[in-house]
Amino acid sequence: MKWLVIAGIALTGVIAIVVITGMLLPKAHVATRSSRLKHPPERVWALIAGDQSWRPTVRRYEPLPDRGGHRMWKETDSHGNAITFEEVESETPKRLVTRIADDKLPFGGTWTYEIEPGSDGCTIRITENGEVYNPVFRFVSRFIMGHTATIDAYLDALAKRLDEGGKANGAGM
């Protein structure tokens, strides 16, 4: 019985540390990653600005009616979780800004995709201006997953889709 009490106190202490640390972290963060690709900007643009079902984590991609002149869509992941997105800005094939358009999630923010042509392809840079509202999620995002985990996974999937190997070339630049 004594061990159960000690384990309960220890577990409560760990939870308290996670919550308090999460509360002390800022809600907003900025994370940037880039990758060099051997394909022209137009080919990369076609993938990032269209149907996202090529990504292994997207089970379903559903275009939605435009809202205020902005393109909208919903992505459902392999766990059945859906997120609605909005295209905030688009300059083909150079710059795309998307925003999470679902206010009920414990996180939100924008992704800015910038594509720069090069002599042998292009460089894509993704900048996340994110917010994590839940302190436990904030702790996990900062100390366990890392703020760049989703960007890294996206760049890896993009490189794989373009037959450039399993990992993005230069991710983290």
| CATH (domain of 72) | 3.30.530.20
Consecutive 10-residue averages of pLDDT for the chain (173 residues): 89 89 94 96 97 96 96 96 97 98 95 96 98 95 93 96 74 52
Structural domain count of the chain = 1
Asked whether residue 171 is domain-assigned, the answer is no
3-class DSSP string for the chain: CHHHHHHHHHHHHHHHHHHHHHHHCCCEEEEEEEEEECCCHHHHHHHHCCCCCCCCCEEEEEEEEEECCEEEEEEEECCCCEEEEEEEEEECCCEEEEEECCCCCCEEEEEEEEEEEECCEEEEEEEEEEEECCHHHHHHHHHHHCCCHHHHHHHHHHHHHCCCCCCCECCCC
Asked whether residue 42 is domain-assigned, the answer is yes
Asked whether residue 169 is domain-assigned, the answer is no
Asked whether residue 166 is domain-assigned, the answer is no
